[in-house]
Structure 1
């Protein structure tokens, strides 16, 4: 393998750009595949292509990438869009690699904690059963299996809800009067966008340095928290005076995700809880 590996990021959106920029700053050669390449940072080489189309992009690299990071995101919240982004898109990229006789050293597939169906506050880790209740988790689980059976050494990273200090979705919900229930507590899991990108970069670097990676990692911060406690903290942090009103509806279950495996590799979140993450804004 070359001193500075070649990385192809398929579905190079916000998360891919953050990860790619980190590695490019350390000398990696990074190429970003997406439909509109004009928004890519200068450190990421553009590759125009559509993951939803079976035809291989015209600019496909002649040199095989040492690593493939699959970080696509669905452009709509329905099952056909999820299947197109995660299952069909991954199958297309794997086909393009085969077409060119290329086999990366490792595939890193970005998934979600939505693959878990636990809903009673259970602790969840990489060995916990995956019994998703909705199409989101079912499609992602199918895509994970495709990645892990691809013939390329692969690792799946199941990320919790992405946010950053300027994220305002939950704050806006509270300002509208929506309120999470306290009993039973609804446990929520999250990871700051910078920490998620740092974890992906850390795993790729670890493999490049010869460390053995597991097939599954959970990407979450240190502190799963009842959503009503997060809400109370945000009310104080952003001086929200709106009286509590209608109960807040959540699609996800109630579970507590552990990051012990990722931490055992040496990674640690810069924002260990929602307090540090939202407190930066």
Structure 2
């Protein structure tokens, strides 16, 4: 089996690591404050902004999964993770006898479409926000490093125990109705499964596309999502926000390439995931 380094062992990184350990892989995890008990993942206490810390990574790895999240939404935090930290790790690991391949966890924030357009992996990437531009540059760094490297662009990840959308529905917020504002999402459990599948395909030497977009089958208007949640929670239906006809509509994410690769979603629609979340909320 393979040696895998996970750069960023937060909740998602640790779950990915556990899934790979269960399959027999030898997994190492970089974390600033690792747990004291080893539960399968071999943790390495390290900060990616410290080259001295990264020199502790003395094991030769077959694959690096880069799955870090910034501490906050500031430009400084994004550059720390997706520019300085990423470049430090690549530079240190490039000194190994055989440089590893990288699987980079990215975001659909690299797209700038806002009029309800469908986007896929070939769609133009012209993010308006600085943070999206920083992530796009990180993607380009990864793909230029090795032709076997791969990028996964995730839409909004939900299902990790957060209740902010449920709370917003209960609070009876005003929601854009017309024109529709499209939302894209992927359940956390499917997120783990996508990373696991592509990691194993990379290790097997399968021919892959450089980029995969990971989002469920149902890019739905925000109004529909709130209305559905209100119905299953027994809450008041959302109020309509009055907006002009040129209001932002966001984008719709296509998962065709990922499904052609063989991935099958457990949570195909927001209804599948939020039905579970609502049931837990209602007790």
TM-score after normalising by structure 2: 0.90
Pick the aligned partner of 1:33 from 30, 33, 38: 30
> Whole-Å Cα distance in 2 between the matches of residues 194 and 227 of structure 1?
22
Q: Kindly state the Cα deviation for residue 152 of structure 1 after the two structures are TM-superposed.
A: 6.1
Q: Is the 8 A contact 2:227 2:238 kept in 1?
A: no
Give unmatched runs, 5+ long, in structure 1. none
> Whole-Å Cα distance in 2 between the matches of residues 255 and 43 of structure 1?
39
Q: Is the 8 A contact 1:175 1:242 kept in 2?
A: no
Counterpart position of 2:122: 127
Pick the aligned partner of 1:55 from 52, 56, 62: 52
Counterpart position of 1:280: 276
- Measured at CA, do residues 229 and 243 of structure 1 come closer, stay the same or move farther in structure 2, by a change above 3 Å? closer
Q: Kindly state the Cα deviation for residue 124 of structure 1 after the two structures are TM-superposed.
A: 0.5
1:107-139 CA-partner distances (Å, limit 9, x unpaired): 100000000011111110000000101112111
Determine if the alignment matches structure 1 residue 103 to structure 2 residue 94.
no
Single out whichever of 187-196 and 152-161 deviates more from structure 2. 152-161
Q: Which consecutive aligned stretches of 4+ in structure 1 deviate over 3 angstroms post-superposition?
A: 56-59, 99-102, 245-248
SS at match of 2:4: strand
Counterpart position of 2:16: 19
SS at match of 1:149: helix
- Measured at CA, do residues 255 and 72 of structure 1 come closer, stay the same or move farther in structure 2, by a change above 3 Å? same
Q: Kindly state the Cα deviation for residue 208 of structure 1 after the two structures are TM-superposed.
A: 2.2
Give unmatched runs, 5+ long, in structure 2. 278-283
Q: Kindly state the Cα deviation for residue 55 of structure 1 after the two structures are TM-superposed.
A: 2.4
Q: Kindly state the Cα deviation for residue 40 of structure 1 after the two structures are TM-superposed.
A: 7.6
Q: What is the RMSD computed on CA atoms of the aligned residues? A: 2.1
Pick the aligned partner of 1:160 from 155, 158, 164: 155
1:70-121 CA-partner distances (Å, limit 9, x unpaired): 00100011111011111111101101102444411x2100000000011111
- Measured at CA, do residues 196 and 127 of structure 1 come closer, stay the same or move farther in structure 2, by a change above 3 Å? same
> Whole-Å Cα distance in 2 between the matches of residues 40 and 176 of structure 1?
41
Q: Kindly state the Cα deviation for residue 14 of structure 1 after the two structures are TM-superposed.
A: 1.5
Q: Is the 8 A contact 1:178 1:244 kept in 2?
A: yes
Determine if the alignment matches structure 1 residue 43 to structure 2 residue 40.
yes
Q: Is the 8 A contact 1:179 1:228 kept in 2?
A: no
1:160-195 CA-partner distances (Å, limit 9, x unpaired): 001007431112222233222111100010001110
Q: Counting helix residues as a fraction of each chain, which structure ranks higher?
A: 2
> Whole-Å Cα distance in 2 between the matches of residues 235 and 151 of structure 1?
47
Single out whichever of 21-30 and 172-181 deviates more from structure 2. 172-181
Q: Is the 8 A contact 1:166 1:278 kept in 2?
A: no
TM-score after normalising by structure 1: 0.91
> Whole-Å Cα distance in 1 between the matches of residues 228 and 71 of structure 2?
31
Single out whichever of 15-24 and 215-224 deviates more from structure 2. 15-24
